Structures are given as structure tokens and as C-alpha cells.
Amino acid sequence: MKILVPIKRVADANVKVRAKSDGTDVDLNNVKMAINPFCEIAVEEAVRLKEAGTATEIIAVSLGEKACQEQIRTALALGADRGILVETDVDLQPLGVAKALKAVIEKESPDLVILGKQSIDADNNQTGQMLGALTGLPQATFASELKIEDGKAVVTREIDGGLQTVSLSIPAVVTTDLRLNEPRYASLPNIMKAKKKPLETVTPEDLGVDVAPRLTTLKVEPPAERSAGVTVADVDELIDKLKNEAKVV
């Protein structure tokens, strides 16, 4: 079984990002970058399937600028076998990413595509669903458990009402939720080995894909700062403020 794992380069989850002074975008100068946390979960799940003898090859693919090679190398250190970078300076949006991944799938013919349900920067939660629609492959989103049984992917999904278990014919697309697993740390020997693993670079033009953005960002600004709280003397004063100032009751 061949598994394709798309990963995204994002600002580290522990970094407090700020908007640029002109409001055109988020300021990422000198900001520590990392693999999107949900993508890390996808890599971990693919590696576990390989360790269990279910998968034979894991391909990590990322889209974006040349610096994305850093995140691909991290995925290789975590257990992926080879990497693919779709290099472009275009501001990628979910539809463009899904189109490029569709072309990579057609080229590589993976049995399973595992990707994070969303990224922590744009927070769209769209790419996996769009990829499933474009490829026509069965898909299961928000996976909290994944098993391969009798040639099918059995996925337990987190839904509003609790849990739902579905069985998908392979090849299929699965997006990971937070509780699927706990990603491992890359060991130093594996980080050194990752430098020698193959990493192919292609462009959207090589894949015959148009990744031009369809949406325009008008303005980026930080959320309004919360005003300081006040202390009330009793319940009556609290109710009065909720009614007449906050107007929530």
C-alpha cells in the first residue's frame, strides 16, 4: 500500500502572529515555521500503518515556496520515504491546493491519502473535501480512528452527535482529527538520514494545474482587545449590567 501525505508549512503553533502595519497580510518575517499540527497527525498515522506492515511506502508532499523543503525533510525524519515539493510563489488557496494534489495523485496512484482536516493559519477545513470531490474518491473527514480491514479503510469519525464509523473502498481520502494519535518527535539519527532521502521538485505548470487564487484578501487586522472586567456588588447589579450594558439578557 502506498500512502500520500500532504503537509503544510505554517507558523509554529506557539508563536503569536501579528498583522502587518498596512493590513495586507500576516507578518511572518523571522517567525518560526513548522508542519501544521494536523498534518503531523497525518504523518504519524501513515508511519504507524507502515510499522504495522500495512503500508509499504509513504510520500510526503507539500505546496509552496522552496522553504517548504524544511517541512518535507521533517516528515522524512518522522518516517516518510520520499518527498515531493510543488514549488510556487503563488498565494495558495484550498481549491488550487486540491487541484495540484489531484495531479500528484494521478501521477503517483496512492492507495490512501491522509491529510490534516485543516491548517491552523487559514483554518479553512476545505482542501480534503475538495480533493475528494475532484478525484471522485471515497472520503472520510475528522477521523479519530483508522484501520485497514479486508482491503477497506474503516474510519471512526467525530461528528456533532458523537462517533460515526464508515467503511471506504480503497483508494480513499481521509482527513485527520486531533484525537487520532499523538505525533512522535524526530530522533537525531532519523533527521540525518532524512537528508539523504529523495525529494522531487515540480511546479504547477509541470502538473498542468492552474493554482491562481480566486479570492482576494481585503484587510488583515488583529481582534479587538477585550475591555477590563468590573466587580459588581451583588446579583441585582450583575443582572442590571447584563440587561442595560451588555444587552445579553
Percent of the chain with pLDDT over 90: 79
Confidence at 200, pLDDT banded by 50, 70, 90? very high
Task: Give the distance between the most distant pair of CA atoms in the chain.
Answer: 70
Q: Look at residue 32 and tell me if it is in a domain.
A: yes
- How deeply is 128 buried, as exposed, middle or buried, from its count of CB atoms within 10 A (0-12, 13-18, 19+)? buried
The x, y and z cell numbers of residue 188, run together, are 537525531
The 3 state secondary structure assigned to 129-181 is HHHHHHHCCCEEEEEEEEEEECCEEEEEEEECCEEEEEEEECCEEEEECCCCC
CATH code, 174: 3.40.50.620
pLDDT at 161: 87
Q: CA 120, 3, 7 angle in degrees (round to 5)?
A: 20
What is the structure's pLDDT at 228?
A: 81
Res. 191 pLDDT band, cuts 50 70 90: very high
Reduced to 3 states, what is the DSSP secondary structure of residue 86? strand
First-last CA distance in the chain:
57
Peptide bond preceding 183: is omega within 30 degrees of 0, i.e. cis?
no
Within a domain: 249? no
What's the structural domain count of the chain? 1
- Report pLDDT for 70: 96
Is the per-residue pLDDT at 230 higher than 80? yes
- Using 50, 70 and 90 to split pLDDT, how confident is the model at 24? confident
- Can you give the residue range of the structural domain that contains 186? 2-244
Element (DSSP H or E) covering residue 19: strand 18-19
Mean pLDDT, residues 1-16 taken together: 94
Give residue-wise pLDDT tens across range 32-52: 999 999 999 999 999 999 999
| Consecutive H or E run containing 42 | helix 37-51
